[in-house]
Amino acid sequence: MELKVLLTTFGMIFLAELGDKTQLATFAFAAESKSRLAVFIGSAGALVLTSLLAVVLGSGVGRLVPANYIKTGAGVLFVLLGLWMILSAGGK
């Protein structure tokens, strides 16, 4: 196992997850629930499963598409989703 990759991945994902919708949803579930352990296990399990899917799909796509195209595509997708969220929120 490459320690540098492990630490870089941990750091980037940890920072990206702080204050995002997933953390806020978990916060809300924990505030409503009497079983914080169930909320933690459910949240952790969901994050592990989504990470597994990302690793499996990412490694498969990474064999077919160059990494710089994937990074550019992800960046464009984030910008488009952000614009869509901004524009669609104005009508409500």
Question: Where in the chain are the domains?
Answer: 3-65
61, 70 contact by CB (below 8 A): yes
d(CA 20, CA 16): 7
pLDDT tens for each residue of 1-29 = 899 999 999 999 998 888 888 889 999 99
Which DSSP symbol is given to 61?
H
Torsion of CA 70, 76, 77, 79, to 10 degrees: 150
pLDDT tens for each residue of 38-74 = 999 999 999 999 999 999 999 999 999 999 999 999 9
d(CA 46, CA 64): 27
